[in-house]
Structure 1
Amino acid sequence: MLFFLMSFFPFVLLLSKSLPLQALPPWAGEVRLLSVLFWKELLSSLLHLFEKCRPLGARKIAASTMPPKKRCAHRVEYVEESEEMSVLDLPELVLESILEKLSPTGLSSMAAVCSSLRERCRSDHLWEKHMKEKWGRVIGHSACRERKLHLDSSKHSLGGFAGSHWIELLSCVWPISWLKDRIESGNKSKNPLPDDTLMSWYQSIESGKFWFPAQVYNREHGHVGFMLSCYDAQVCYDFRTDTFHARYPPHGQRNMVEEKGVEWSRLRAPPVDISAHDLHISDLSDLRPGDHVEIQWRRSKQFPYGWWYGVISHLEPCDGNELYCHCHLSDTVVLEFNQYTPGSRWRQTSISRKYHKEEGNETDGFYGGIRKLQSKDEISKWRELWPTDVLE
């Protein structure tokens, strides 16, 4: 084997000198390191072999030259270390309970202790609670879909690594078992945390690297034209200010609008997993006066929908007496937006209960799908955002 290696190296050297100078492919850097790794490992193996082949007497002489105090201290130290108790010696249930009580920062620190704790601390069931507690209000189905697309694209790009084929061939030609493992471990060390873990997702959101779809109340710093509305945006977290950075898609001929410093109270996960340009299919059969609703509205056909808060009002002939009210039986549904003054063209609008799709015009805008608010938390949230001044 030694003869083969000594004859193979000059052949590779001669071949490299004879090749024309051309631009190397991106994976050539990986292969270039193989020779360095090969000779380094070969030298290490020869030294290890030499150590094993040394006469037993020589090894005894080397051990006897160590001062007695050092030999004694070495033995005492070994005994003390063997008697120390590790956290891994705890019962399984106790260790699991400790890890469940750790914060995300504590789990991340514990994962760096050793390989055994690293696998435990990266477990999804430990991070699922932290994901729900911190990001549950702003992460919805659309954000999960965005993450899945990101993971699929990452796997596809890694699967297309051109140098992997050459590594397979060289690992067969060279009788070195560590060759392929060394290259693969070198690639993994650049990103030791798997992307498909909840820990990785939590940290990517926390660091602001992951942009995800969400909705922002009263967009553009509470601009008067967007009061009591909620619009789609791409957001990322800023851990320095504990706020979010939002990017709103272009509206008509307007460019993309960015807003920094969006507070937690102005953010929510999209309640409906559809595009802002798609009509939400609605069932209006059970709407009654006094119901709280959100309705899709857009300024023109070129604009995306936003969700606007309103209530179901009585028809004009009805005096609101519950004993004689038959508004819920009518085909016409009256939407009222009480944030606007009486008489404003934005105060009320009527839609068809049975045949409602999208109604409106380029002057008053277009009214789309309707969501009936069932949760008291959703209704109280809109009440918190109520403008201090009545809008015209």
Structure 2
Amino acid sequence: MKGVSMFIKADGFIYPYEEKVGGFLAIENGRFGQWQEQVPEEAEILDYSGYVIAPGLFDTHIHGYAGADVMDCQLESLERMSQSLLETGVTSFLPTALTADFDTLNKVCQLVVTAKDTVQGSKIQGLYFEGPYFTETYKGAQNPSYMRNPSIAELDQWLASSQGLLSKIALAPEREGTVEFVKYATEQGVTVALGHSDSTYDEAEKAVEAGASIWVHAYNGMRGLNHRELGMLGAVYHLPNTYAELICDGHHVHPKACDLLMQQKGYDGVALITDCMSAGGMADGDYMLGEFPVRVEAGTARLKDGGNLAGSILQLKDAVKHVVEWGLADVVTAIRMASYVPAKSLNLLDECGQIKAGLPADFIVLNKEMTLQATYLNGQKVWSQDK
């Protein structure tokens, strides 16, 4: 057929809200074509019988992987992350910076501009600043000495330095000047997330009314729910048309609490993330998260001083698998929460996050046990379990 490079044959194809069983998916010049039941005899077939094809995963909150950290401020670190994330099923990601001083974050902005068109693996779809406008009360594994009130002047400079790639920024709603900042940021096309916060329900609601739309790793780093003052967690549960990041590693959030969130928000209101730090994909041992020493063992990353969780070593493919194994969602829904919903939360559905005709053919191959077998970018195999 004219323009068709090949057809993929598989047991199923995961679309956002359905699995197309059997059949063939066209790949046309590195982009998805249409799914169809039959193809011409002379067609080139990529045979994945016994497997399922799903869209590449999109990690919208990830600090590091494979020994590399965004805060290294080095191109080779982002290249290592980009290449190594392919083994986790992630074909798109937002490099995520930690709370830091203005100049350091400005360097990250400049770095990502260079990296976006340089890295050869998982695609950089933007830049996420997790901070610095947080509250010390829920500082987590971030340096409180850099925490401050939001500044439109700082945001303007970061947007200029990143050439508009700064696409997501997180803050605590109780900070002075939040409403004005949120309105301005959203007008500039920046998605505002809320977290690391001791805010009341009313403070969170005002930030959402101003345009904030994402909750930073729901449950973690926020004031909990009380029946007389709902707090930030109550706002996560109750405020509609918002997206909750969720870490499904079994350590940050109990599986039943994950289930509660999914039932309350709806599956389309939950975006699976990793919050992974540099030790992801590495052996247990001592690492750094930004400026803090971290000990990795027994599946967790914890600050050496105090023992608090310090990001994760979770791989997004495993978060999807956990959701299915815990009985929280079916395969189609679990995949959607790690691809379509993250892309939608950032208005990037025209770039990634789904199998759709015309989009880049970034996809993954899964066996019946939900184990990753291969990763493809632009219709080309870039990682395989066999190699």
TM-score range, shorter chain: under 0.3
TM-score (ref. length: structure 2): 0.18
TM-score (ref. length: structure 1): 0.18
Name the larger-Rg structure: 1
| Between structures 1 and 2, the one with greater helix share | 1
| Between structures 1 and 2, the one with greater strand share | 2
Q: Which structure's relative contact order is higher, taking Cα pairs within 8 Å and 6+ residues apart?
A: 2
